[in-house]
Amino acid sequence: MRLAVLSGAVLLALAAPAMAVDIDGRIDPAEWQGARHITDFRQVQPLTKAAASQPTEAWVLATPDGLAVAWRNVQPASVPRTRQRVQRDFEDQVDRVNLMIDFDGDGRAAYNFTVSSTDGVADAIITNEFQFNDDWDGNWKHAVSEDAEGWSVEVLIPWYIAPMHKSAGDTRTMKLYVDRVIGSTGERSAWPAASFERPRFVSDFAPVEVQQYSQSLLAITPYVSGLYDNVGKSSDFDGGVDLFWKPNGQFQMTATINPDFGQVESDDLVVNFSATETFISDKRPFFTENQGLFEYTTPSDYSQLLYTRRVGGPADDGNGSGDITAALKLNGSFGQTKYGLFAADEADEVGRSFYALRLVRDFETQNLGMMVTNVERPYLDREATVLGVDHNWRPTQRWNIRTRVFGSQIDQQGQTTRDNGATIWADYEMDNNWRQQWIAMHFGDELQINDAGYLSRNNMNYLHWEFKKRFPDQPAESRYSSKEWRWRASTVYNDNGERLNNQFRMSRQSSLRNGSSEYAQININTSGVDDMLTRGNGVVNVPGRWNAHWEFERPRKGHWAHEAFVDAFTGGLAGNDKVGYAAEYQATYFISDAFSFYGGVYADMTPDWLLWQYDNLIGSYKGREWHINAGVNWNISDKQELRVKLQSITLDAQALQAYRVAPNGQSLASNDEIDDFSLSNLAFQIRYRYELAPLSYLYIVYGRGGRDDNDYSDTASSLISDSFGLRDDEQLLVKLSYRFEL
């Protein structure tokens, strides 16, 4: 169904004033009088656009209190219901509904609101058409009811949830998408028939005209916390406050004083010996609130001009983390132009100051944006400024073209360095479920955006061409409901004209009729150079190599859910002469719908693992790594949850040969001494959370962990056993935050 036809059919004014809707999960016809009634739900997973297998209805109604939406989901006894209780921002395969709203109808950003059949919720911001970020949590109402024939959902999204353009007259046009997912099969049916499996998603939402309302809100969220360190035998007390103010639909202000760095969250353990930084998402409330406007990303993995984990990250003197004193963020619009201002300041002489300005102008088939970031780092006598321009263009229903041009200027100790980068990616949707994609990226050798942003590497020129073919109509006797094949050819050179590699990739993404998913991929790489291994002490010639990956995820059936993957790969200086492997399996057992525990193991063996030592000296190792993951999730009630999380990472590396890298990139065997080594790492957390009110929580968190660089051990059992005894840190944290709305 083409959007042009759909738009004409659904452009309906809900102009009559509406009374408040009681959000209790029971759809009262009297309350929903005058609502837009939607019945034409079409299958979008698999993407056949056939009529939904189970009748689904939705109602959309603008009220003074917010946008109200209801679903009636028919689900007979022949279609199993999932009654699993889920945590906020869940990813479990359960019965659920989604509401996605592009408040300005410009295709730049949308908000996703998810409700499960057990009244669990998730929310996220969608940018770049189909990129979901669930770090953000909003305050909105929801309720669910169930009967023999099916289940019903009601939600109310307040008008203050996001900044919006000011519309002329008494109505405004926004774009909506509503869907329903059957957990036992994975089938997703939606109105309109848009899909995030296509290059355009948010742009294909259906325009709906509604009565224009405006709400103001002042919310103050103070917090206090106390921490006891059982290793250092010390205690610490802290406090701060977050402020949210929206006087009207066109302006929002968010501020924070002494924000909590997020001790209640447990990041996954990472052991990284590479020259590139590990990306970690940000879950601090201030930094996730209405952050979508500041999204300026490129096709390079996780790259962005404003990476908020920099604020309060490792201090410039190398001693701990930066101490954030205050931060401020303004979002708003004037006419058709959106703007955002961001500022954050750290304390003491090693503290940094962060600033960002964002402007976006929307047109009918395109939008144009500009972003500037600036970081002052007095301890390093360094100031970093980055300017970027981004353009998104949708000339036809088939094309989606995104362009980025940006540059950096670094002033440090009297020296100025400038460089630039540019990216373009174009998606073209063909007939008969074929697609093509082109991506080109250039990052200059002196481009530096990581003072405020994130870029895994600069000094790169990348080009790829990809063909995709979707097979949504599988035979009735097939265990698969849909498949998608992809073929990609790519080439990567650095700015010195040295080839990093050429690659051919073939992959298949499959959905099974029982709700499971499967993915397989193979990459074949030509020879090239590794220009980052020696950290600037010369490039290393590397031979051709390949890798293959297969993964499978089966959602809960009865008491069990399963995940697994297997990898095979070659690399190092041995190229295809030696083959390594990696494998992981994790199982979850549900004692009840509210209580489950999981356990998983991971193991790998890298036969020729190259590690930098110093200068132009590298070492070849036989590396082995093991992970133990285990935990408990107990959703005690709607307001309470208990999580237990254990992660243990151990590895050993047996030295095989030392090499000196010659100026021509050849690795020459040397007699330099390199040592075997082992490493153990542990993170253990018990976290209790009680929801006092919306976005108001009491946390009690016990955490223990540590890291030990050991002598070489050739047994996994001894390394894992040693890791469980680590106790570099042992802390008890109590944190209370409460949101007051005025």
Q: Give the model confidence (pLDDT) of 413-446 as tens digits.
A: 999 999 999 999 999 999 999 999 999 999 999 9
Dist. CA 62–CA 20, nearest whole Å: 9
Dist. CA 504–CA 522, nearest whole Å: 8
Residues near 721 by Cβ (< 8 Å), separated by ≥ 6?
none
> What confidence category does residue 229 fall into, taking pLDDT thresholds of 50, 70 and 90?
very high
- Does the pLDDT of residue 1 top 50, yes or no? no
> What confidence category does residue 711 fall into, taking pLDDT thresholds of 50, 70 and 90?
low
Q: Where are the beta strands (DSSP E) in 249-310?
A: 251-257
Work out the average pLDDT over 4-8: 40
> What confidence category does residue 21 fall into, taking pLDDT thresholds of 50, 70 and 90?
very high
What percentage of the chain carries pLDDT values higher than 90? Answer: 82
> What confidence category does residue 249 fall into, taking pLDDT thresholds of 50, 70 and 90?
confident
pLDDT value at position 19? 62
Out of 4-8, 193-197, 236-240, 665-669, pick the least confident.
Answer: 4-8
**Domain coordinates in residue numbering, the chain:** 3-215, 242-261+277-456
**The CA-based dihedral angle spanning residues 494, 496, 500, 501, taken in that order and rounded to the nearest 10 degrees:** 100
List the strands of the sheet with 66-74, edge to edge.
Answer: 36-38, 56-63, 66-74, 150-157, 141-146
For the segment 598-650, what is each residue's pLDDT rounded down to a tens digit? 999 999 999 999 999 999 999 999 999 999 999 999 999 989 999 999 999 99
Residue 492, token pair as written in the block: 């990567």
SS (H, E, C) 134-159: CCCCCCCEEEEEECCCEEEEEEEECH
For the segment 513-549, what is each residue's pLDDT rounded down to a tens digit? 999 999 999 999 999 999 999 999 999 999 999 999 9
Higher pLDDT, 100 or 333: 100
Give the CA angle between residues 195, 464, 518 to the nearest 5°. Answer: 45
Dist. CA 230–CA 730, nearest whole Å: 5
Choices 3.60.15.10, 2.60.40.1190, 3.30.590.20, 3.30.70.141: CATH for 3-215: 2.60.40.1190
Give yes or no for a contact between 433 and 472, defined as CB atoms under 8 angstroms apart.
yes
Dist. CA 300–CA 13, nearest whole Å: 42
Beta-carbon count within 10 A of 693 CB: 12
pLDDT value at position 44? 96
- Does the pLDDT of residue 301 top 80, yes or no? yes
pLDDT value at position 602? 97
Say which DSSP state 52 is in.
P
pTM value surpassing 0.75: yes
pLDDT value at position 709? 81
> What confidence category does residue 205 fall into, taking pLDDT thresholds of 50, 70 and 90?
very high
Residue 615, token pair as written in the block: 């200068």
State residue 605 phi and psi, 5-degree precision: -140, 120
Give yes or no for a contact between 164 and 334, defined as CB atoms under 8 angstroms apart.
no
Written as one string, the DSSP assignment of 560-628 is EEEEEEEEEEEETTTEEEEEEEEEEEEEEEESSSSEEEEEEEEEEEEEEEEEEEETTEEEEEEEEEEEE
